[in-house]
Structure 1
Amino acid sequence: MSTADGVIAALRTGYDRLADFVKGYDDAALAGPSAATEWDVAQVLSHLGSGAEIMLHTLQRALDEKPGAAGGDFYQSVWARWDASSRREQATGFVEWNEKLIALFESLDAEQRAALRVDLGFLPAPVDVATFGRMRLSELTHHSWDVRSAADPTATLDLEAVAELVQTEGDLSRIAKPTALDGQTAVLNVSTTEPAKEFALRLADPVGIEASTDQPDGTLTLPAEAWLRLSAGRLGPDRTPEGVELTGPFTLDTLRSVFAGY
């Protein structure tokens, strides 16, 4: 099996779950608040729908061996059309375009899943299907939580997606705000459950994750899905599960400020 297989399976599971969740939403429910504070439910679905349309176009270009990524005018036209749609049209479009995108992912054979490269236009080089799929999976997983947690404060990220999204090394400068550290630095050894992972969180400029250290400044223990929500700005005090334990020079509120959300 290629590494894309699990990502594509998690995309299907996550999409089906959210689509079933909002299937019975009336217009009032679509206008209700989501956990993405600036968007109502329909706007979250619109964001996921327009993103699916763009990613479908990008993946199809790769399959058709067209050079480069689509031009900026294409993206602007997609976003403008979605923004002008009614809430009901946004919800219906979310279902339609995500089904199309995931069906295209599922149609890829083993060779395509392993060898196809997708040009996103904003990265130095094209990415493989697993990487491209994970980008979509992260977006779908966190915004699905934005919708579901508004109705259920105990909601968690889809565990199938969590297993595909947790990383143990990487630069987090794109999503972290080291200015919240007020010039202080520290390295925390992080231990997650479901799945069990061990890594170090380097709180400096830039913020990043790397191999665990023998002499950390503190420790952070929490479910893997809670770690992903923390790093995405979605682990507020009222959304923090029991069992999150932090030692060292920083408080959980400081970490929340470092990862303020996106």
Structure 2
Amino acid sequence: MSNRADLAIAALRTGHDNLSALVAGLSADQLTAPSAAEEWDVSQVVSHLGSGAEINLEALRASLEGRPAPEFEFNKGVWARWDGMTPQERQAAFPGANARLVEAYEAFTPEQRTEHRIDVGWMPEPVDVATSALLRLTEFGYHDWDVRASFDPSAALAPEAAALISDRVEGLFGWIAKPANIDGRTADLLVRLTDTGETLGLHLAEPVAITAAPGNPDGELSLTLEAWLRLAAGRLKARYTPADVAVSGPISLDDLRAVFPGY
């Protein structure tokens, strides 16, 4: 049976192959069209993924060579170089940059996928290969959707990514969730994931948290796992919301969008 590292690396490969093919076929007008990530055009999302691939690759290489994780100055230099590219240069550079990262993950042996540790630079301690790959998959999965939804508002997160991102979603709350945006109101919602049959609790207070399904909830949110993951990352604006999303109780869907404004 495949472990978490194997599944995450396989999902990174599928995502890379699919997004690279899409990006390669974009016209100049499409590259500069608004993306689903507010304030970024499509080429800027591609730039973010390309620069992130280079930064992640350097952390992987450093871990294998016994060097410290790259300093923040390294990251700033990578960002500046990608920011300075034209949309067409980003289009050309992304496939190679991201492929090198995916290939580096694929090169880890079965033993390394279990035992090796990577200092990603901002976590309290080095993480295993599975966690490193899942961190990248979370970033990649959401921004892959940002590009696809630019041209198809009904686009969904890649299913192989969504199944794994669900393990990381609560980790986003600390820097994304804004419970103050609903004017001090609090609630405990029952969340029903209609496609998986899972139920859980959403505690809307400071701090926002996922809990066990409450026995006496203030309201209920019903939606698929994929829609839930997009809501938690601020990617369930009205034009991107499936018709089967339903909310009851004192907290509206617009309230939830305010709590999770995205990034």
TM category (shorter chain) comes to: over 0.9
Task: Show CA shifts across 1:119-178 (max 9, x none).
Answer: 122221111111111111111111111111111111111011000011398452221001
Structure 2 counterpart of 1:164: 164
* TM-fit CA distance, 1:89: 1.3
Cα deviation, 1:198-242, whole Å, max 9, x if unaligned, reads 211110000011221222212211111111111111101111002
For 1:132, the aligned partner's letter is S
Which residue of 1 is the match for residue 112 of structure 2? 112
Correspondence 1:167-186 to 2 at 5 A:
167=167, 170=170, 172-186=173-187
Cα contact 2:138–2:168 (8 A) shared by 1: no
Q: Which residue of 1 aligns with 2:243?
A: 242
What residue is the counterpart of 1:208 in the other structure? Answer: 209
Contact 2:5 2:129 in 1 (8 A): yes
Structure 2 gap segments, 5+ residues each: none
Match of 2:3 in 1: 2
Overall identity of the aligned pairs, in %: 47
Between 1:18-27 and 1:158-167, the stretch displaced more is 18-27
- Structure 1 residues 168, 110: closer, same or farther in 2, change over 3 A? closer
SS at 1:202's partner residue?
A: strand
Could you say if the C-alpha distance between residues 59 and 196 of structure 1 is closer, same or farther in structure 2, counting changes exceeding 3 Å? farther
Deviation at 1:86, TM superposition (A): 1.6
2-structure distance, mates of 1:63, 1:148: 34
Matched position secondary structure for 2:192: strand
SS at match of 2:176: coil
Relative to structure 1, the CA distance from residue 168 to residue 69 in structure 2 (aligned partners, 3 Å threshold; closer, same or farther) is closer
Output the amino acid matched with 1:242. A
SS at match of 2:243: coil
What is the one-letter code of the residue matched to 2:239?
D
Q: Report deviation, 1:97.
A: 0.8
Matches of 1:196 and 1:6, distance apart in 2 = 22
* Secondary structure, aligned partner of 2:15: helix
Indicate if the aligned counterparts of 2:169 and 2:229 stay in contact, CA closer than 8 A. Answer: no
One-letter code aligned to 2:261: A
Evaluate the alpha carbon distance shift between residue 46 and residue 241 of structure 1 in structure 2; reply closer, same or farther with a 3 A threshold.
same
Matched, 1:218 2:208: no
Q: Aligned with 1:219: secondary structure?
A: strand
Change (3 A) 1:168 1:35: closer
The answer to whether the aligner puts 1:233 opposite 2:234 as a matched pair is: yes
Structure 1 equivalent of residue 22 of structure 2: 21
Q: Distance in 2 between matches of 1:95 and 1:87?
A: 14
Match of residue 62 from structure 1: 63
> Within 5 Å, which residues of 2 pair with 1:21-60?
21-60=22-61
Residues in 1 aligned to 2:168 and 2:83: alpha-carbon distance in whole angstroms: 37
SS in 2 for 1:173: helix
User: Match of 2:175, SS?
Assistant: coil
| Residue 100 of structure 1 pairs with residue 78 of structure 2 | no
**Structure 2 CA distance, aligned partners of 1:37 and 1:84?**
20
Partners in 2 of 1:134 and 1:242 — Cα distance? 29
Post-superposition offset of 1:196: 4.1
Provide the alpha-carbon RMSD of the alignment.
1.6
Does 2:142 align with 1:135? no
**Count of matched residue positions in the alignment of Structure 1 and Structure 2:** 261
In 2: Cα distance, 1:239 partner to 1:91 partner:
25
- Which sections of structure 1, spanning at least 5 residues, go unmatched? none
Using the alignment, how far apart are the partners of 2:168 and 2:188 within structure 1? 14
CA distance 1:193–1:17, change in 2 (3 Å): farther
Q: State the shift of 1:44 in Å.
A: 0.8
Amino acid at match of 2:63: A
Matched residues in 2 for 1:212 and 1:65: separation? 44
